[in-house]
């Protein structure tokens, strides 16, 4: 990797600059990230990671510049570091494109410090080119490994959220439909038992059997409608309106407003995942809030979607809610799409869940 014609002493000097002027490089790196409003500098945890990662990349590059022996001694710990970073970025809601933007900034910061500190000569110019190449190689290698870890983590989450959905359907079938059928069955048995001795009791049992069978039938119908509408194939607005009509009781006022062009939210999978996230918000409002009104708002522009589910119900203290899986899967679904979710709930006043999704170039 060391270029012929570059004096080893200049490469050695560049390696020393990368190691000894780390603080200077890191400050320039952070300044660049701040200027481009990178979310990676906003959090203490990701900021710490940036430092560890920058140090490790520069060590790697310095070792490359010094030759193969220096390099092999540091390789192993680096593999693990990239994977850890890939996973925690995914968990911490940072879109992969932010990591890419950040490493480009690191590369620029490191190069400018090397250029400022190498003595001006023609050989140091080619030493700078060698440093640039080594930086690029080290960074691409890490990006690739972090990327693999990032996507396997996200795939696992998609798989889990589909499994959750299956569990929910099986729970509904078991708790609601099977229960009603059991009650009806038992009532028919009692009807047989009483039909000779006590006809009026028998009639009451028959009536109960009929009404619970009707209930089971309604539940099965609504479950099957819900299953059919588990995606937003005919568009988000249609799917949301259908959802409110199926799941919100008549006495609760509800409405949906979708502004902007849904065509910006391609591919379909993004629309479906957003729909499923909003659906859980509506379900929570119906199940837990006791609200008089529930509204769903979606606002789409070319490069982002903002969506919210709001109710004026009993609210809760965020962080102290009972541990279901719904809110967690809403957060995970949003993270999968590179967005974020914020929840504002005030006991006695209601709850508003807001979702922000960037629409990267590839999705437009």
Ligand X SMILES: Nc1ncnc2c1ncn2[C@@H]1O[C@H](COP(=O)(O)OP(=O)(O)OP(=O)(O)O)[C@@H](O)[C@H]1O
Kindly list the residues in this chain that would bind ligand X in the complex (CB under 6 A): 284-285, 287-289, 311, 313-316, 321-322, 324-327, 351
The smaller minimum CB distance to ligand X, of residues 61 and 285, is found at: 285
The smaller minimum CB distance to Mg ion, of residues 86 and 326, is found at: 326
Residue pair 282/248 in contact (Cβ under 8 Å)? The answer is: yes
37-45, 119-127, 222-230, 322-330 -> range binding Mg ion (CB under 5 A): 322-330
β-bridge pairing 350-358 and 293-300 = unpaired
Contacts of 80 (CB under 8 A, 6+ apart): none
* Residue 314's binding partner out of ligand X, Mg ion, none, with CB under 5 to 8 Å set by partner kind: ligand X
66-74, 144-152, 223-231, 284-292 -> range binding Mg ion (CB under 5 A): 284-292
The smaller minimum CB distance to ligand X, of residues 285 and 296, is found at: 285
The smaller minimum CB distance to ligand X, of residues 273 and 311, is found at: 311
Contacts of 92 (CB under 8 A, 6+ apart): 43, 45, 46
Contacts of 101 (CB under 8 A, 6+ apart): 36, 38
131-139, 247-255, 270-278, 325-333 -> range binding Mg ion (CB under 5 A): 325-333
Minimum separation from the CB atom of position 277 to ligand X (A): 11
Q: Is 96 helix (H, G, I), strand (E, B) or coil?
A: helix
281 binds Mg ion per the rule CB under 5 A: no
* Residue 203's binding partner out of Mg ion, ligand X, none, with CB under 5 to 8 Å set by partner kind: none
Minimum separation from the CB atom of position 331 to ligand X (A): 9
Q: Which of 86, 281, 315, 326 binds Mg ion (CB under 5 A)?
A: 326
Residue pair 118/14 in contact (Cβ under 8 Å)? The answer is: yes
Burial 301-340 (b: 16+ CB within 10 A, else e): eeeebbbbbbbbbbbbeeeeeeeeebbebbbbbbbbbbbb
Interface ranges with Mg ion (CB under 5 A)? 284, 324, 326
């Amino acid at each position: 990797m060391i270029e012929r014609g570059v004096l080893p002493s200049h490469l050695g000097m560049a390696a020393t600059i990368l190691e000894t002027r780390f603080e200077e490089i890191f400050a320039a790196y952070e300044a660049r990230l701040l200027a481009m409003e990178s979310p990676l500098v906003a959090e203490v945890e990701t900021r710490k990671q940036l430092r560890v990662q920058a140090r490790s990349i520069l060590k790697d590059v310095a070792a490359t510049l010094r030759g193969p022996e220096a390099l092999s001694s540091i390789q192993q710990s680096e593999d693990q570091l990239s994977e850890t970073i890939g996973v925690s970025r995914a968990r911490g809601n940072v879109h992969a494109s932010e990591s890419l933007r950040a490493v480009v900034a690191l590369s620029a910061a490191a190069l400018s410090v090397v250029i400022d500190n190498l003595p001006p000569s023609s050989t140091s110019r080619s030493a700078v080119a060698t440093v640039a190449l080594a930086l690029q190689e080290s960074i691409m290698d890490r990006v690739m490994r972090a990327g693999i870890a990032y996507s396997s983590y996200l795939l696992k989450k998609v798989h889990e959220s589909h499994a959750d959905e299956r569990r929910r359907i099986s729970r509904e079938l078991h708790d609601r439909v099977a229960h009603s059928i059991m009650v009806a069955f038992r009532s028919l048995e009692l009807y047989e038992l009483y039909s000779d001795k006590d006809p009026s009791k028998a009639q009451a049992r028959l009536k109960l059997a009929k009404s619970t069978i009707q209930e089971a039938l309604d539940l099965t119908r609504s479950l099957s409608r819900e299953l059919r509408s588990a995606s937003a194939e005919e568009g988000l607005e249609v799917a949301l309106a259908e959802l409110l009509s199926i799941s919100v009781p008549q006495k609760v006022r509800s409405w949906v407003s979708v502004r902007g062009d849904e065509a910006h939210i391609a591919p379909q999978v993004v629309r479906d995942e957003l729909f499923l996230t909003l659906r859980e918000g509506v379900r929570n409002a119906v199940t837990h809030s006791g609200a008089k009104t529930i509204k769903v708002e979606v606002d789409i522009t070319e490069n982002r979607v903002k969506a919210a589910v709001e109710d004026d119900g009993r609210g809760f203290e965020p962080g102290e809610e009972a541990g279901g899986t719904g809110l967690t899967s809403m957060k995970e679904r949003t993270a999968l799409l590179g967005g974020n979710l914020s929840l504002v709930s005030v006991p006695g006043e209601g709850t508003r869940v807001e979702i922000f999704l960037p629409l990267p170039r590839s999705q437009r």
